[in-house]
Amino acid sequence: MTKTALVCGAGGFIGGHLVKRLKKEGFWVRGVDLKFHEYCETEADDFVIGDLRDQQFVRSVIDRRFDEVYQLAADMGGAGYIFTGENDADIMHNSATINLNVLDACHKRTIKRVFYSSSACMYPEHNQLDPDNPNCAEDSAYPANPDSEYGWEKLFSERLYLAYNRNYGMQNRVARYHNIFGPEGTWDGGKEKAPAAMSRKVAMAADGGKIEVWGDGKQTRSFLYVDECVEGTIRLLRSEFEGPVNIGSEEMVSINQLAQMVIDLSEKDIGIENIPGPLGVRGRNSDNRLIRDRLGWEPSQALIDGMSVTYDWIKGQVDKKHNQKKA
Ligand code: NAD
């Protein structure tokens, strides 16, 4: 019998890639989102447009016992959206409502296992003040002190999924993603993340020019290529480990190093100008000890390989937009 999967947030960046992967594996896939994917035709067999904050709608799309359910829908964005404070109420209300609805509808359909994508943003701010030595071990989460309401909502929802495991015999799986990047992700408009923003700025900059980078550029992060994120997601859902577990890369770079990497890939002569801007924590890196131990797997691709593919894709997008404007 053909296996079935539900992907909530299928019109988004990671959800779009996940649908492709599940189709390759022969699943019948239903995707749900507020919108169609911006950059590609969906490969889902059934794509339902609707609002997962609406309980009736959620019950109508969870109309069978899917073999696999992935809940990725969230109100989110890059530093420019999460850290200004202006969107806090929406971020918390919208994402928490989605999770409450989806999880309960799955439980009522006697679906046992739901994958939930939490985020490294739930780690305490005080463990991420030293850019060279951030602590993101899974058990460092408490006492909790995320630096954004986005992180607090993730923490609440992680606990919600695990509470359904304890009280209702579910087997939900919780991952903490660390900065996922790759082609077919948001690259302009304010919700884009650092790898996409850098790629856009470099692609648009003229030879001999400069790009602006927020902060002093010494803040550190690691970035995970989307194919490896999807691989880790599927492995975790199908494993016997409930998590929460980091899905991220341990290759930590400063933001200026990331910018320089993109400049080098472009082969342009471009400088970096550090300017004030919304930042987030000083340092963050994935800690992969637990995933290695429990899944016998961890991401292994070098950052530059993923950045090379991503830069080429974003450059293509920038060129396309430019040509459209001219026409
Ligand atoms: P994305 O914004 O591209 O995708 C999320 C999708 O959810 C969007 O297409 C959006 O339209 C949809 N959505 C939002 N509200 C909805 C609603 N009310 N009803 C239906 N759909 C709704 O984000 P992404 O990068 O693909 O991230 C997927 C998940 O992974 C999110 O939960 C995010 O918090 C988590 N995550 C992502 C990263 C990352 O670096 N991309 C890092 C940590 C965690």
Q: Per CATH, the architecture of 4-179+226-247 is what?
A: 3-Layer(aba) Sandwich (3.40)
pLDDT at res. 289:
98
- Rounded to whole angstroms, the Cα distance separating 203 from 314 reads 8
Residue 279 amino acid letter = L
Whether 74 lines ligand 1, by a CB cut-off of 6 Å, is yes
User: In the chain, which stretches have pLDDT less than 70?
Assistant: 77-80
pLDDT at res. 37:
96
What are the residue boundaries of the structural domains of the chain, listed by start? 4-179+226-247, 181-222+251-285+301-320
Give the closest residue to 33 by CA, choosing from 21, 48, 46. Answer: 48
Q: CA-based Rg of the chain, rounded to a whole angstrom?
A: 19
pLDDT at res. 75:
92
Ligand 1 atom nearest the C-alpha of 193 is: 40
pLDDT at res. 78:
59
State the DSSP code for 217. S
Q: Is the peptide bond before 146 cis (omega within 30 degrees of 0)?
A: no
Ligand 1 atom nearest the C-alpha of 53 is: 18
Tell me, in angstroms, the distance from the centre of ligand 1 to residue 1's CA: 30
Instruction: Say if CB 171 and CB 165 are below 8 A apart.
Output: yes
Q: Identify the CATH number of the domain defined by range 181-222+251-285+301-320.
A: 3.90.25.10
Find tokens 């359904």 and name the residue: 164
Provide the greatest CA pair distance for the chain: 61
pLDDT at res. 281:
81
Whether 175 lines ligand 1, by a CB cut-off of 6 Å, is no
Q: Across-strand partners of 117?
A: 175
Tell me, in angstroms, the distance from the centre of ligand 1 to residue 102's CA: 14
Q: What is the pTM of this model?
A: 0.96
Give the closest residue to 193 by CA, choosing from 176, 181, 203, 202. Answer: 181
Classify residue 268 as exposed, middle or buried by CB count within 10 Å of its CB (0-12, 13-18, 19+).
Answer: middle
Which of the listed residues 72, 75, 188 should we mutate to test ligand 1's pocket, taking the one with most ligand atoms within 8 A of CB?
A: 72
- Catalytic positions are 150
Find tokens 């997601």 and name the residue: 233
